[in-house]
Structure 1
Amino acid sequence: MQRAKYQSIPARALGGLPVQLTSFVGRRREVSEVRRLLSKSRLVTCTGPGGVGKTRLALQVGAQCRRAFPDGVWFVELAGLNEAQLVADAVADTFGLADHRADPTVRLQEYLQDRHLLLVLDNCEHLVDACARLVARLLVAAPRLHVLATSRQVLRVGGEQVFPVPPLTVITAEGAIDGRKLLASDAVTLFADRAGAAEPSFRLTPETLPAVHAICRRLDGIPLAIELAAVRCRAFGPEAMLAHLDDAFALLNSGRGGGESRHRTLETAMAWSHRLCTPDEQRMWARLSVFADDFDLDAAEAVGLWDGIDRSEVAELVAGLVDKSVVIRADRTRGQEARFQQLVTVRQYGGIQLALSGEELTVRERHLAYYRALVNRGETAYFHSGEVAWFTELRREHSNLRAALEFCLADPARAPVALDITARLRIYWYACGLFHEGALWLRRALAAAPEPNALRAKALAACGFLIQFCGEYDEAVTMFELAEQFGDTTISADADWCAALRAVHRGDPRTAVTLLDRSLAKSRAVSDMAGVYRTLIVHGVAAFDIAPDEGKVSAEQARALVELSGADWSKTIVLRLLGRYRLADGAFPEAAVLFEGALSLAWQTYDLRTIGRCVEALGWCASGTGHHERAALLWGAAETVVQLAGAAPDYPHIAKRFARHEQATRETLTGHRFAAALARGKAMSPAEVVDFVQGKAAEALAPTRGTAQLTRRETEIAGLVGEGLTNKEIAARLVIAQRTAEGHVERILAKLGFRSRVEIAAWINGCGNVLAANDK
């Protein structure tokens, strides 16, 4: 499992499995069977009704399978996504892949083709066709990829193995039953575990056991229904709870025929839990169902406080729903403000109640207003000291932003609102590498709001800005031409800036400089300091070869502007530019300081494009000062980061200037040493390479289990892992069986306390302290 260590965007914890706040109960046979199916098929789908435990089963299987997948277990939650075109984006986002191309599926195919990993796709049923198409393409492109899906419907992809997830076991025989058999029931065990967590004084006794067993039978062993019932132990004893349940079933199921019994059971259990909430808690449950993902108390207040509920009551009502397991805590990063969420099935039930209440339109409008206000804060946040905080909050609320946009686009009358939101998010889409998704929303909004006006012009310019980074230059030109018809000076300056950027990439810096002079004059005329800053930066790039003294002046002017603004993300751009000029002058230590500063700031927003280019440049600095092995390692790491970012090659005329450093390093190191250092760098995650650059590698990569020693053979094999060899290649090199090599690697992982080959490689080569050991 790999997890990014950056702190600013907790909603985007890359890879790995979400932390489970409750224990996993039972399911030994089911876990074993799903693992068996994964060993014989590359696609397994866990099916079953809502609340039966598909997600928890998949998470448990993923946790137990980590060692089998050297490139990790990766979890993608799809419940909050309703746009089929964004399924591939959601998966790519999980891997940290920027969506610079028009088709993110292609990015995924390229990234996954050589990787051996397990992809867990959760809650596919409402996007089943899109999921099926994506999975089919990925399985063909990536021969060592395995997919574990959860869905109420099968995907119907070739080779799919389907595992219907059953309810928890519960003894169904009538009459007197041995208490030991009751205690062995997974359903009873789950009830006792959750009841004990809700009410510490709860104990299973010979007196309470029969009633608990009867409750679990009444609820058909459905885990979610049992958990909702168990938390009621705060208010009822098991006997009283059973009586209430029987009354609820009799009332709510009277006169109803047909339907799948387990579905009716969960629906009735949910309705019973709903009836036991206070009226205000019921309304809050329904209103909170509009959130597509987690939310904080401010957002809960925005949708919940009116019609008898005031601000002081919202936190109390949310806490009451947490106590009843209707809402759960969703804290993702230590030190962050508390966040909450509802399980998918609970949220769906709340949505039904919201529709029945007649409040749905009002609640969704309040939800939209809250997120529109968040977007509008960018007017004062971008190119100011609040820049990173704004990007961070938007990234954390990304799923809810999508839900707000979907609500807007569902009604033509609200399409202008969608146009306004998507246009204002331009710099957010860009800063977070969401070119494709941003363009998708902008195109949808432009199609829904065709009225020619200044707002449409702003959206056209935003879309043109984004799609040029997807390589769609001709359409970008067309969009700017349409946008300029409205006579907005800022848009005209933008059009010149984008045209200049294209000229730079096409190797025509003199045309670029002419365009930039025009753009600069227009931006200054309307006091657009962010536009002035961007223009100075590209002028510094364009002038790098043809007028370096003028380029340096532009770079220093840009630095003064950004220092005055306090905008940390924007500052990364000028630090990189200044670093290149210092490199060209041979001032390697000064250049390294600038690139390290840019990298640290870029890490705050997980800007992989900037991180990758900084790491590459730091390799040039290392080579220039004679640290050739470090240089090769950094270039290998940069290659991995740039692949994740999907970044186009950096400005060719600048990169060409520093190619001599790679040649010098290759000539200094033997071919084997250069290749080995490059492989070590490629094996590092973005978090590991940032730690390495910041001098934290020894601390970050040291074994977690003390001074465990490796045998001589294990040390040898660890070294081969460090060179990037697979188990098969190690076996061939040492003339041993592949299974023997696998066994050695497993023991090395266990001794060092590591979870992946990547950690072995990074530790053995980054720290240089593999311990010699006794030959056994």
Structure 2
Amino acid sequence: MSGESATAEPQDAGLRPTDGGSAAAGRLPAEVTSFVGRRSELDDLGHLLGTARLVTVTGPGGVGKSRLALRAAAAASRDFPDGVRLVETAAVKDPLLLGHAVLEALGITDSTARPPLDVLVERLADKRLLLVLDGCEHLVAGCAELAAALLRAAPGLRVLATSRESLQTAGEHLLPVAPLPVAAPAGGGPPDAVALFADRAAAVLPGFALTERNAPQIRLLCRRLDGIPLAVELAAGRLRTLSVEQIVHRLDDRFRLLTGGARTAPLRHQTLRTTIGWSHELCSSQERLLWARLAVFSGGFDLEAAEYVCAGDGLDADRMLELIGELVAKSVLLREEGDGVVRFRLLDTLREYGGQWLRSTGEELRLRRRHRDWYLGVATWGEVEWFGPRQTQTAERIRLVHPNLRAALEFCLDEPGEEQLALLLAGTLWFYWVGSGHLGEGRYWLDRALALAPEPTAARAKALWVTGYMATLQGDLARARPALEECRRQALDTGDDRALAYAVHRQGCAALIGDDPVRATELFEEALWHYNAIGELNSNVLMAMFELGIACLFQGDADAGQIWLERVREICEEHGEQWAYAYALYAMAYSEWLAGEVRSARAYARECVRLNHLFRDLLGIVLAMDVLALLGTEDPEADLVEARVLQGAAHRIWQAVGKPFFGSRTFNGPYRECEARARAGLTEQEFLDAFETGSGLDLDAAVRRALR
């Protein structure tokens, strides 16, 4: 990361002031603060300036387009013997004055009646010069026409522009600039946004330094500010009167907080509100309305979601694609593409600004309801698709919309009369909470919704069995058993056969984890009878079969257990189901270990880890990982250190799930056996060191270790 100051070295060989003009106006300004980060962008921009004649740096307000362009122009100055000249077009209000502004920057005074463009064409025809047009967005058409005319007339001229939208003229090459990274770089060290804050904070508070104590709050602050350099610098300036923690707490009113930029900065950069307002003024009325409505989204969204939520009442559905394209072009929306799907995102700062406008229109409640309805539909369709060959795609789709699901749930819980829909949405998402490692969050939403909506509805019944299921998986039987019993009683009172089947099934899970496999077997068999009676077949039913199979194994009935596990495998293969199949693989690995078939047991356990890692299902991963650790002690030349490393890695994952092995003695059996073997074959220090090594592995590293 670069922390040095760079001063431009203007080259004036070919353009000297004439007739009283001064070239000083167009010289690149010296940097007065250090330049932080942007290594790759500088490299890319330097390459473009060497190959393209018109380059436009685009990005949202406050992202650092001007600073980047000026640094790149200074670095490229040696390649332009006739100089590098800066034209601050943001200060020009009338496009007819653009030519005059360029003349002034070049130090050319012409008192004739000739049009400025004619003078420029004449003077630049044989020059090798770099012209920087900074801040073109408000006169984008005029800047485009000027650049095109000058480039046609002067073969040695190159133009570097900065704008919140492209000039859209022939030969233009774009360099989009994103906010500074807020995630730690792979090579170590602080993220660029954090480094910028620390640098500017040291200028405000001499002696300020990034430490282990203040780093978490600074990282949080930079994330909340989207890594927008202007916002980060303004926040650092507030350290004169506030601590970092106080700044974070006041960010909900960031537009009032983040003021007080340098007096010498352009007016549009002196406060965050003014910077964003500058972009807002450049939008058409339709674009402003769409910007406001898009503020209901949290995180990314796709075109279909935007069309459903925002179209109508002043926004023609047929124009949505065009309007979104215009907001992308103006750097209001960020475009993101992955797996062949394009998504869009408002930076949080721009979303908050749009939200203020949305509230002023009186449309916020209507838009938030439409937003909720869309994501309730996404969740409902996801639950349907969870049983089938598109499970992994469904998990990824729900992961992408997770921030919007949170926003929808928050709306339902905050808005009176929406509590039943909160129950419905949180309960419908059971497959995501359980299957993608979000047990804690799922319980958070369900507990809030259940407390607000005590009426015995179908939505409450579903929320109860989902809550009981997740509490069971966390080893919290004190919460699971009352929730499941309430669901069972309500189902009997209301004649809800589906809720009854699920309640009995999950009571079987609680019995199994509570080390009562006999009672668990009875409940699983009863649940499967109910499922069959109502014609239910999905991933939950397959899990009941898997759980019945492992209950049989725990009782020593390997034949019965194998029958149920084979049944699960057959149905999964027929329907393309992978999630329940992964759990069946864990049980198969356990069964093969009991039978002394170490090689096949290891193959099943590894496949279980691999599949569950696709879903980010922590529980499925850790169960199989503990079995793999035990299997590692079975070989004649067992690597006991590696087995203990896997136990350490599994222990760390358990901390993110709940009680290790659900607090169950039965499920804990393989771990205890592996632990005893490792302790017997290793020194105490080797035993402890290996476990510590495993505990230091993150999830992906632990999975790689298990699968290698």
Q: Answer yes or no: same fold by TM over 0.5.
A: yes
Alpha-carbon separation, structure 1, partners of 2:224 and 2:677: 61
Q: Deviations over 1:195-214 (max 9, x none)?
A: xxxxxxxxxxxxxxxxxxxx
Structure 1 residues 527, 34: CA separation in 2 closer, same or farther (over 3 Å shift)?
Answer: farther
2:596 alignment counterpart = 586
Distance in 2 separating the partners of 1:50 and 1:374: 31
Q: How many residues align?
A: 505
Map of 1:694-705 to 2, 5 A cutoff? 694-695=707-708
Is the Cα–Cα contact under 8 Å of residues 167 and 220 in structure 1 kept in the other structure?
no
**Aligned 1:151-550 pairs, distance under 5 A:** 151=248, 153=250, 167-171=260-264, 187=265, 216=266, 218-219=267-268, 221-222=270-271, 224=272, 266-267=273-274, 269-307=275-313, 309-311=315-317, 313-329=319-335, 335=339, 337-470=341-474, 471=476, 472-484=479-491, 485-530=493-538, 531-546=540-555, 547-550=557-560
* Mapping 1:600-611, distance limit 5 Å: 600-611=610-621
Cα displacement (A) at 1:427: 2.6
Q: CA deviation at 1:15?
A: 6.8
Q: Distance in 2 between matches of 1:536 and 1:447?
A: 32
Distance 1:551 1:565, change over 3 A: same
Structure 1 residue 371: Cα displacement:
0.6
Shift of 1:293: 2.0
Q: Are the aligned partners of 1:622 and 1:631 in contact in 2 as well (CA < 8 Å)?
A: yes
Change (3 A) 1:666 1:441: closer
Answer whether contact 1:430 1:466 (CA < 8 A) is retained: yes
Distance 1:166 1:568 in 2: 53
Q: 1:621 aligned to 631, 646, 653, which one? A: 631
Q: What is the letter of the counterpart of residue 323 of structure 2?
A: L
Q: Residues of 2 paired with 1:536 and 1:493: CA distance? A: 13
Instruction: Indicate the structure (1 or 2) with the bigger Cα radius of gyration.
Output: 2
Cα deviation, 1:171-198, whole Å, max 9, x if unaligned, reads: 3xxxxxxxxxxxxxxx4xxxxxxxxxxx
Deviation at 1:448, TM superposition (A): 4.0
- Pairwise CA distance, 1:357: 2.6
Distance of 1:300 and 1:410 partners within structure 2 = 23
Q: CA deviation at 1:355?
A: 2.4
SS at match of 1:457: helix
Paired residues for 1:757-768 under 5 Å: none
610, 633, 642: which is aligned to 2:645? 633
Q: Residue deviations 1:416-466, cap 9 Å, x none?
A: 322322221223222234334323333433444444333333333333333
| Residue segments in structure 2 that go unaligned for 5+ positions in a row | 1-180, 236-241
Percent identity for Structure 1 against Structure 2: 27
Secondary structure, counterpart of 1:652 in structure 2: coil
Paired residue for 1:688? Answer: 701
Question: Residue 690 of structure 1: CA displacement?
Answer: 1.9
Bigger relative contact order, structure 1 or 2 (CA pairs below 8 A, ≥6 apart): 1
Distance 1:311 1:568, change over 3 A: farther
**TM-score normalised according to structure 2 size:** 0.63
Q: Distance in 2 between matches of 1:319 and 1:24?
A: 33
Q: Counterpart in 2 of 1:758?
A: none
Change (3 A) 1:310 1:582: farther
Identify if the C-alpha distance between structure 1 residues 27 and 491 changes in structure 2 by more than 3 Å, giving closer, same or farther: closer
Instruction: Tell me which amino acid in the other structure corresponds to 1:464.
Output: G
Is contact 1:540-1:550 (8 Å) kept?
Answer: yes
Question: d(CA) in 1 for partners of 2:667 and 2:197?
Answer: 60
Among candidates 644, 650, 658, match of residue 646 of structure 1 = 658
Q: Deviation digits for residues 693-749 of structure 1, max 9, x if unmatched?
A: 333xxxxxxxxxxxxxxxxxxxxxxxxxxxxxxxxxxxxxxxxxxxxxxxxxxxxxx
Structure 1 residue 271: deviation in Å?
A: 3.9
Identify unmatched segments of 5+ residues in structure 1. Answer: 1-12, 62-119, 121-127, 133-146, 156-163, 172-186, 188-215, 225-265, 696-776
CA distance in 2, matches of 1:436, 1:51: 23
Is the contact between residue 225 and residue 231 of structure 2 (CA under 8 Å) also seen in structure 1? no
Distance across 1 between alignment mates of 2:686 and 2:194: 47
**One-letter amino acid of the counterpart of residue 458, structure 1:** K
RMSD: 4.0
> 2: CA distance between counterparts of 1:40 and 1:598?
38
The answer (yes or no) to whether the contact 1:635–1:678 under 8 Å persists in 2 is: yes
TM-superposed CA distance for 1:552, in Å, is 1.6
Q: Is the 8 A contact 1:595 1:618 kept in 2?
A: yes
Amino acid at match of 1:648: P
| Counterpart mapping for 1:69-88 below 5 A | none
> C-alpha separation between the residues in 1 aligned to 2:573 and 2:246?
48
Q: Larger deviation: 484-493 or 409-418? A: 409-418
Distance 1:360 1:166, change over 3 A: closer
What per-residue deviation string (whole Å, max 9, x for no partner) do you get for residues 492-514 of structure 1? 22222222222222322212222
CA distance in structure 2 between the aligned counterparts of 1:52 and 1:523, rounded to whole angstroms? 47
